[in-house]
Each structure stands twice: as C-alpha cells, then as structure tokens.
Amino acid sequence: MSNLNSQFQLMAGRPPHGASAMEGNFLQKTSESPVLTEGMIGKIENVAGNARMSKLTGGTTGATPDYPWLVIEGADMSDSQFTGLAANPRLTVLAVKTGLIFKVDTAVSLVVGDLVWANAGVIAKVSTTKQAIGQVIGVNSSAQWAVIAC
C-alpha cells in the first residue's frame, strides 16, 4: 500500500480502524514465482513443519473450504524484505471472508455482483464451481480496477 505506483488499496476491515479481518504475518514459501505482492491471494502451506505462504488456487464448492489470505504488504516491499529472510520475505496478510473491502488492479472483465475466486493467487471471475472469496461491489473497467467485499 505504500508503493507510489501501487494499484491496491484496502478500503475497510483492517484493525483497529474499521476493525474486522484477522491480520497475520507469514514467511513466503521459498522459490515462489512470481512472488506474492499486495492484492494477491495466498494460503498457508506446511513446509517442514513451518507455516509458509504460497499462492492460492481455489478449490471447488463442496470440497474442503479454502482458507484464503489477502496480501496487504507483499514481497516487493522493503518492509517485507527487511523483516523476512533472504529467500523468504515476510508477508502481511488479512484473513479473507472475515469482513474486508479492498480495491485491486485487475485485467479481468468484471461487473458488480460477480463472484471472484483466486487462480494462482490472482483474482478471477467465478464461472464454474470454484469457491468464491468475495463479491464485486464496484468496478472501473477503463482504469481496470475492482472493489471486492469478502
């Protein structure tokens, strides 16, 4: 959120103001490529007994529910690199589906009311039986951003 060219903004839900979503910090999984940047959706992975974050690809509805996290400070940021390890930047994330609203850059064509899911960490439109992470409540197709509530 602090990068000058950032196309991502958390609009509601981050504690303490507008408190809602649960916040956490996790090291990114080694060799994750591309790296997780703000606005991407991650998941916790067990790497040798340690919690590491990698990009989420949502499961199907009816299967085990996903536990998605929204990256709000990604591996491209100096804070993340400074507080993490050389190969494992520390990501700041918010638990999705616990009450938050964010604006994110997207190349996907979306309309208000669309459900969205995470495809390799990137927001995509639900068109099949993929588990949704949220619903679009605002779009600007010319500027290519969407506001998502989840």
Partner 1 sequence: MSYLTSKFDVLRGVEGKEGSSAVVWDFVQATGASPDIQEGTVVSIVNASSPTSVNRHTSALLTGNNYDHPWLVIRGKESSESQFVNKLTCAKLRTGIKFKIATDLTPTVEDLLWAAAGVLTNIDPGSGKPHLGKVIGFDADNGLMIVES
Residues that bind partner 1 (CB under 8 A): 12-13, 17-21, 60-62, 97-101, 111-113, 115, 126-132, 134-138, 149
Q: How many helices (H) and strands (E) does the chain have?
A: 1, 11
Place of tokens 């700041």: 92
Closest to partner 1 by CB, 1 or 126: 126
CB of 62 to partner 1, least distance (A): 7
Residue carrying the six token digits 């959706």: 41
CB nearer partner 1, residue 27 or residue 146? 146
- Provide, rounded to whole angstroms, the least separation between the CB of residue 15 and partner 1: 9
The Cα–Cα gap between 138 and 112 comes to 6
Task: Give 108 or 115: the residue with its C-beta nearer to partner 1.
Answer: 115
CB of 148 to partner 1, least distance (A): 10
What does each C-alpha distance from 130 to 5, 66, 91, 117, 119 come to in angstroms? 31, 10, 25, 7, 10
